[in-house]
Amino acid sequence: MLSSALCCALSGVDGVLVHVETDIASGKSNLSIVGLPDAAVRESRDRVLPAIRNSGYMVPASSITVNLAPADLKKEGAAFDLPIALSILAASRQLSPDSLRNTLLLGELSLDGRLNGVRGALPLVLSAQAQGITDVMLPADNAMEVAAVEGIRVFPTRSLGEAVLHLTGTKPLLCQQQIPFEEIRRHTPTAAYDLRDVKGQLGARRALEIAAAGGHNLLMVGVPGSGKTMLARCLPGIMPEMTAQEAFDVTRIHSVAGLLPPNQGLITQRPFRTPHHSASMPALIGGGPDARPGEISLAHNGVLFLDELPEYQRAVLEALRQPLEDGFVTVSRVRARSEYQARCMLVASMNPCPCGYYGSRVRACRCSEHEIHRYLERISGPLLDRIDLQVETDAVPVSEIRQTAASESSAAVRARVQAARQRQLRRFSHTSITCNAQATGSMVHELFPLPDDAARVLEKAVDKLRLSMRAYTRVIKVARTIADLEGAEQIQPPHILEAVQYRTIDLKYWQGAPQ
């Protein structure tokens, strides 16, 4: 007796349709699973059979063979428990085999038949939808995760018994009411940090606004306690709202990584990831035995904040260069190879020296010239070249801290950022690019033309500061963002001058010698 059910296997952040074929033949009672299963799938035989028995159904006393096709694709995780159990019941004619057609089945089974949530539900459902699957049966814990997917019927299920009663028509499950993305976005929580609570640091606030408006990378160098971390944490609150596609992309990555809590819907707030400086390369870039996404991918469409930048391993920082340039990272391992999106803003902070007070107006530095050089050399020139905005912060005077007048709020800044992003979306409407920082070199020359006076100013700055060709292009991108914030049609000399100003820290700390 033969039956077939539908499931999906993860391949990076995509799903591949898997046919769960079950054959029951005479012979010694045994359950064999083939089709390149990992340990979790092989162990499903020890979960599925007790779940069938404890749910009140008969376990066939025969030889049972389950094939997961295609056989050359690695099958991982416990999401195959439910389709394996239902295909066994269909093969033993306790369930009609026709009832399993065109229904995606996902779920991990407990020994008593309860269904537990699985990793990667959203990408699996999206892939099934693209294959023409109309019905999805999955654990109730994963129902909200797929609530915004249109064109499918979702049946949240709590146990194997509920699934069987639904498929036999004895007690049909209620179809989940899908929620439009705009309705989900209306319930996005307010950012925890607001710029109105930041005192002083007008230069850093301006750089933060430009970074948010154009998607530019940002480095803040300053003394301890000058507000670098708080400024960085305010960034998600001034960034534009995520589009539906961005929210789906972010949620897919977090779902694959297993970071979505039960009953979590789409992620509509831009990610803000802050890995510790002891993070390994697989943790930051991605990897491990199963090629899981790293912090740079978990920050996709959001912010990757590296506090105390020189404290990170140099090899780890150097590995960031390619993802920052390309917007994706390819993770290859012996057992897996996956490609993950990694289009995020890198925001980093650091002290100017080991003691933290080199160049400070309020406290003398006690570091030697050698110690300062050795500390700064932990950050390579090629990595610095990929950071568009570099600003200094110093201790805020007590008079500014005690002032009662509120600073400009994140909401006010976000309105300007949103307007600038809308101009960029119109500019790049014929491409997949959403902000100035993502523009390619050819686009910069085509879409960001410089008037003669602005071009002369930039030429002089490049010669004086000895900027690379990459830095030259990035200065133009930043100047275009500054012009967008002002609503200017063309890049003017003041825009170039301000953009160049954000490249002078490199000259002070890395190219110059401490005095």
CATH code, residues 2-179: 3.30.230.10
Tokens 């909200």 map to which residue?
144
Quote helix, strand, coil % in the chain, to nearest 5.
Answer: 40, 20, 40
Distance between start and end Cα atoms, the chain: 84
pLDDT of amino acid 336? 67
With left for phi above 0 and alpha for psi between -120 and 50, is residue 323 left, alpha or beta?
A: alpha
pLDDT of amino acid 360? 82
Q: From 129, 137, 111, 105, select the one nearest 20 (Cα to Cα).
A: 105
The answer to whether 348 touches 215, Cβ cutoff 8 Å, is: no
Distances (CA, A) of 447 to 426, 452, 481: 12, 16, 12
pLDDT of amino acid 335? 63
The answer to whether 61 touches 123, Cβ cutoff 8 Å, is: no
pLDDT of amino acid 401? 67
Distances (CA, A) of 462 to 381, 386, 497, 512: 16, 16, 11, 17
DSSP string, 139-182: EGGGTGGGTT--S-EEEEE-BHHHHHHHHHTSSPPPPP----HH
In what helix (H) or strand (E) does residue 482 lie, and over which residues does it extend? Answer: helix 469-486
Protein fold of 195-511: Rossmann fold (3.40.50)
Q: From 485, 416, 476, 417, select the one nearest 447 (Cα to Cα).
A: 476
How far is residue 95's CA from residue 86's CA, in Å, rounded to a whole number? 8
The answer to whether 90 touches 99, Cβ cutoff 8 Å, is: yes
pLDDT tens digit at each of 515 positions of the chain? 789 999 999 988 899 999 999 999 887 888 999 999 999 999 998 999 999 999 999 999 899 999 999 998 889 889 999 999 999 999 999 999 999 989 999 999 999 999 999 999 999 999 999 999 999 999 999 999 999 999 899 999 999 999 999 999 999 999 999 999 999 988 888 888 999 888 888 899 999 999 999 999 999 999 998 889 999 999 999 999 999 999 999 999 999 998 988 888 899 999 999 999 999 999 999 887 778 899 999 999 999 999 999 999 999 999 999 999 899 998 876 666 788 999 999 999 999 999 988 888 878 889 998 999 999 999 998 999 999 999 998 877 776 666 666 788 999 999 999 999 999 999 999 888 999 999 998 899 899 999 999 999 999 999 988 888 989 999 999 999 999 999 999 999 999 999 999 988 877 777 654 44
pLDDT of amino acid 457? 94
Adjacent-strand bridge partners of 195: none
Tokens 């002032």 map to which residue?
403
Phi and psi angles of residue 153, each rounded to the nearest 5 degrees, phi first: -110, 125
| Cis peptide leading into residue 139 (ω within 30°) | no
Q: What is the dihedral of CA 360, 366, 370, 376, to 10 degrees?
A: -40
Q: From 282, 293, 213, 214, select the one nearest 251 (Cα to Cα).
A: 293
Q: What is the token pair recorded at 304?
A: 């990757």
Distances (CA, A) of 444 to 272, 427, 439, 447: 28, 11, 6, 5
In what helix (H) or strand (E) does residue 322 lie, and over which residues does it extend? Answer: helix 321-326
pTM of the model: 0.90
Q: From 266, 258, 252, 332, select the one nearest 300 (Cα to Cα).
A: 252
Q: What is the token pair recorded at 38?
A: 């990992």
Q: From 491, 322, 509, 470, select the one nearest 423 (Cα to Cα).
A: 491
Residue ranges covered by each domain of the chain: 2-179, 195-511
pLDDT of amino acid 513? 42
Within 13 Å and on the Cβ side, how many CA atoms surround 224? 9
Q: What is the token pair recorded at 205?
A: 């606030």
Q: From 264, 284, 291, 254, select the one nearest 120 (Cα to Cα).
A: 254
pLDDT of amino acid 441? 86
How far is residue 14's CA from residue 126's CA, in Å, rounded to a whole number? 8
How far is residue 156's CA from residue 165's CA, in Å, rounded to a whole number? 13
DSSP string, 39-58: HHHHTHHHHHHHHHHHTT-P
pLDDT of amino acid 399? 67
Distances (CA, A) of 439 to 433, 442, 460: 7, 8, 24
